[in-house]
Amino acid sequence: MTVQRDVGTFARSHANWHWSEIAFWALALGCAFLFPSRFLIMTDIVRLALFAMSLDLILGYAGIVSLGHAAFFGVGAYGAGLLALHGIITEPVLALVVAGLAATIVGFLTSFLVIRGVDLTRLMVTLGIALLLEALAERYSNITGGTDGLQGIEMAPVFGLFAFDMFGKTAFFYALAVLFVLFLAARRIVHSPFGLSLRAIKNNPLRAAAVGVPVNRRLIAIYTLASFYAGIAGALFTQTTQLASLDVFAFERSADLMLVLVIGGTGYLYGGLIGAVAFRMLQEFFSNITPQYWQFWIGLVLVVIVLVGRARLHRWALFVPNLIIRQFAGGKAVVAVPESDAS
Amino acid sequence: MTTILTILFDGIAYGMLLFVLACGLAVTLGLMNFVNLAHGAFAMAGGYVCAVLVNSQGWPFFAALPLAFVSSAAIGVLLERTLYRHLYTRSHLDQVLFTIGLVFMSVAAVDYIMGSSRIFIKLPAVLEGQLDVFGVGVGRYRLMIIVICGLLTLLLQLVLARTRFGSRLRAAVDDPRAASGLGINVPQVFAFTFAFGCGLAGLGGALSAEILGLDPYFPLKFMIYFLIVVTVGGSSSITGPFLASLLLGIGDVAGKYYVPKMGPFVIYTIMIVILIWRPNGLFGRTAAR
């Protein structure tokens, strides 16, 4: 009995909002007023953050390593682009949801392939699905515009009220609002019994099955959900850049996403958001030094992160904040050190 | 009929090439259970070494081929000793991230040093043109590839099955702990195997410049092909990957000839279907660990 109550209290105390989270979101909103000339890059960061959060749902919570998450991003991007281009659904929010649902359908169908097999098979199947979709998009270039991509996408005002302006102000607030709403949903989900059962599966699928967790059904559910999030991220990409081309499916996109999540840390939702900021700043920094070869330095960062060890790196990064928190709050450090990933 | 034979011939040459490129990966990924996405980078290194030697130093093509092998193997052993060996026991995610990082670095580095355009290796006159065998046009270059790769495959099979080193390797893979208990120097065996696999990839890279095209994006473009060979072929023997690469080669050439518009679509679909049907590969015996 006591054990049960302890687990319950623990889970519930983790689900409570902490002041640092509120500060985080206040800061995110504050950025809009601090850097009024940087809306484009900030919108980019928000999109990337949403995409990374989607991967975090399956990687950090369910332990599925995916090399082809760009597949759903691409479906969402083309979905939103085609809806706007042909004037089927002009209202952006509605189009966003519809494009997200299109990605969800693809995610649901492919989830049956992904849950089979071990890590390596999953890697190959996810990668294969992304490449397959890329090949399809190239094949049906009369619909997708081929290598030129979809051009001439015009976005209607959000809710018919807020028109997209050329400085990207509307786009930024729109993207941030979408991110926040989806974050709230994800936060609710990962702290629910469903989310806890996912963690159980990640730590030990066999044991999870033994205590009565329907492993495969849960994995299908979270994979489908993550594909919805990725689809929304892709749709946001099209809507805010008014562009969708073949590279939305590219392998580099999936690989970069991994890096984002690795920088930020997996399994506590904020990893994707923090990682997106850090990644874009790194990218900006490196392309200022060597415009053409920034990929080299990104690769170096990846190699160093892995060699030093992700857990150790996050301990170092959080050392100072934790120290401060311990001084002021007195209690235990609140900034979560990400869990180690499933092997 | 002659077209079918030509496709078959080109497909076999292509498949053999893929096998030489990928069989090093079959060892690291299949036997040592290390997800090495950077395998193509070693192949690219060999290709560029060969290209520099032949084009700017004026070496004969056949003398440059062994050097492509040696230089890739040297890079391989260097990286294995300094970096890779720390990651054997890590999670697959770590290995994937690490090797993707290596791929990015190699792409940008080669782009920086050699430029981003596709390069060609000057071939000796002997290898140009076609032979006519019973009305079927047989490219001399492809014939050479089949001969070289066929010999290599035989040699590999013999080494693995007949020699002391082969049995040591198989023992080290089956159970590293028991093998080291029997006095086998497991890290050394792995390092040697890794270097040899990288060398073969380098040789394959040098040979493939003519057929697959060599540019800085080589490791990214062909990564999926190498992975297909290994995962579809399974990893319990050298025969599995060999048959898989022949299938892939013939399938790809035939696909490009008969349904050119579908492009790589056919290959990826077949791969996914096979992996779903038999997650351990077509010819795999044991469960992947």
Nearest to B231 among A116, A124, A310 (CB): A124
Q: How many residues does chain B have?
A: 289
Provide, rounded to the nearest whole percent, the portion of chain A with pLDDT above 70.
Answer: 92
Q: Which residue has the higher pLDDT, A100 or A161?
A: A100
Question: B221 to chain A nearest CA, in Å?
Answer: 10
pLDDT at position B284 is: 62
Answer whether B149's CB lies under 8 Å from B20's CB.
Answer: yes
Question: B151 to chain A nearest CA, in Å?
Answer: 30
Asked if A123 and B86 come within 8 Å (Cβ–Cβ), the reply is: no
pLDDT at position A55 is: 94
Residue A224 backbone phi and psi in degrees, to 5: -65, -45
Asked if B227 and A293 come within 8 Å (Cβ–Cβ), the reply is: no
Nearest to A123 among B86, B96, B265 (CB): B96
Question: A40 falls in which pLDDT band (50, 70, 90)?
Answer: confident
Q: Which two tokens stand for residue A33?
A: 């007023």
Instruction: Quick: pLDDT tens for A159-215.
Output: 877 877 777 888 888 899 999 999 999 999 998 989 989 988 888 888 988 998 899
pLDDT at position A325 is: 65
Q: Report the largest interatomic distance among the alpha carbons of chain A, rounded to a whole angstrom.
A: 64
Q: Report the largest interatomic distance among the alpha carbons of chain B, rounded to a whole angstrom.
A: 59
Residue A251 scores a pLDDT above 50? yes
- What is the full DSSP assignment across chain B? -HHHHHHHHHHHHHHHHHHHHHHHHIIIIIIS----TTHHHHHHHHHHHHHHHHHTS---HHHHHHHHHHHHHHHHHHHHHHTGGGGTTS-HHHHHHHHHHHHHHHHHHHHHHH-SS-B-PPPPGGGSSEEEETTEEEEHHHHHHHHHHHHHHHHHHHHHHHSHHHHHHHHHHH-HHHHHHTT--HHHHHHHHHHHHHHHHHHHHHHHTTTT-B-TTHHHHHHHHHHHHHHHH-SSSSHHHHHHHHHHHHHHHHHHHH-GGGTTHHHHHHHHHHHHH-TT-TT--SPP-
Provide, rounded to the nearest whole percent, the portion of chain B with pLDDT above 70.
Answer: 97
Q: What is the mean pLDDT of chain B?
A: 85
Q: Does B84 touch chain A (CB under 8 A)?
A: no
Q: Which segment, A113-117, A118-122, A302-306, B170-174, is predicted with the most confidence on average?
A: A302-306
Cβ-based neighbour number of residue A33 at 10 Å:
7
This prediction has a pTM of 0.85
Instruction: Quick: pLDDT tens for A12-31.
Output: 777 778 888 888 888 888 88
Q: Which two tokens stand for residue A138?
A: 């190239």
Instruction: Quick: pLDDT tens for B85-141.
Output: 888 888 888 898 999 999 999 999 999 898 888 888 888 877 777 777 776 777 888
Domain ranges of chain B: 2-223
Residues of A with CB below 8 A from B273's CB? none
Answer whether B9's CB lies under 8 Å from B131's CB.
Answer: no
Local structure of A291: helix, strand or coil: coil
Asked if A302 and B92 come within 8 Å (Cβ–Cβ), the reply is: no
User: For residues A149, A254, B73 and B150, what is the CA-based torsion angle, rounded to 10 degrees?
Assistant: -60
Averaged pLDDT, B195-216:
90
Q: What is the mean pLDDT of chain A?
A: 84
